[in-house]
């Protein structure tokens, strides 16, 4: 057969570990004969032990990579490859966007009915800012990553309400969702950006890595 056994990272790490351990044992034997001063011997021995420790660490990291799974930080909820942070602290759309940035994410971008349903299940009640706005151009709704909107507004939204007496000339330029608003998931609505709501942040789940000290 012309097929060859696959050299896996684990196998390579085992070979490397064996070579270094063998070298360390030989070196320890030689230094025990040749060293005349205790301090020098101790220094060499310590250096060799550090080499072995580093090799073991490399092996541990390589071995863990195949078994690692994307995961979320404490306080975040995971759905698939995404992490969501639900904050009930009341803040404006701009403040909410900055709060998400401080947590390493952005205001949530909702890309599917499944994702929308997951968000509603996690917070069935309350109003939350999402990462959607037409601040740059009236009527052109964009996500914070500048991708266009896949329409999913409430049937009567957006209405760009400017107040009963036109006291808000800029109108409603930021989007929020209300979890218990509609069964068909059309639960988004436009709102004055200065109004305070909770907010939902999201960011990709991260693959954990082994760390050595």
Instruction: Give the mean pLDDT of 6-33.
Output: 60
Burial of 95 (C-beta count, 10 Å sphere; 0-12/13-18/19+)? middle
Q: How do residues 117-132 score in pLDDT, each as one tens digit?
A: 888 777 657 899 999 9
Buried b (16+ CB within 10 A) or exposed e, 106-117: bbbbbeeeebbe
Residue 181, token pair as written in the block: 């608003």
Please spell the DSSP secondary structure of 91-158, one letter per residue.
E-HHHHHHHHHHTT-EE----SHHHHHHHHHH--SSEEEEEEE-SSSTT--EETTSPBP---B-TT--
pLDDT of residue 2: 47
On the question of pLDDT at 79 being above 60, the answer is yes
Count of residues making up the chain: 213
**pLDDT for 131:** 96
pLDDT tens string 176-198: 988 665 555 567 889 999 999 99
Q: Residue 11: pLDDT above 70?
A: no
pLDDT of residue 155: 43
Per-chain mean pLDDT for the chain: 74
Closest alpha carbon to 126 in 87, 161, 82, 171: 87
Specify which of 68-72, 111-115, 188-192 reaches the highest per-range mean pLDDT.
Answer: 188-192
Residue 150: pLDDT band with limits 50, 70, 90? low
pLDDT value at position 198? 95
Angle subtended by helix axes 38-65 and 9-34, to nearest 10: 180
Separation of alpha carbons 107 and 163, rounded Å:
26
Residue 109 has pLDDT above 70, yes or no: yes
């Amino acid at each position: 057969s012309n097929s060859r056994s696959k050299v896996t990272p684990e196998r390579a790490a085992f070979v490397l570990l064996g070579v270094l351990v063998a070298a360390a044992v030989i070196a320890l034997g030689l230094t025990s004969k040749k060293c005349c001063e205790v301090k020098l011997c101790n220094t060499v021995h310590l250096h060799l032990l550090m080499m072995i420790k580093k090799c073991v660490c490399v092996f541990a990291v390589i071995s863990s990579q195949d078994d690692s799974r994307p995961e979320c930080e404490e306080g975040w909820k995971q759905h698939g490859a995404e992490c969501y942070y639900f904050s009930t602290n009341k803040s404006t759309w701009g403040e909410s966007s900055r709060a998400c940035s401080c947590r390493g994410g952005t205001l949530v971008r909702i890309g599917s009915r499944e994702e929308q349903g997951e968000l509603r299940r996690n917070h069935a009640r309350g109003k939350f800012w999402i990462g959607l706005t037409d601040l740059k151009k009236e009527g052109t709704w964009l996500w914070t990553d500048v991708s266009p909107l896949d329409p999913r507004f409430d049937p009567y939204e957006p209405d760009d309400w400017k107040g009963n007496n036109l006291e808000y000339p800029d109108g409603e330029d930021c989007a929020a969702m209300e979890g218990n608003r509609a069964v068909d998931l059309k639960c988004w609505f436009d709102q004055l950006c200065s109004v305070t709501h909770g907010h939902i942040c999201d960011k990709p789940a991260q693959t954990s890595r082994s760390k050595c000290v």
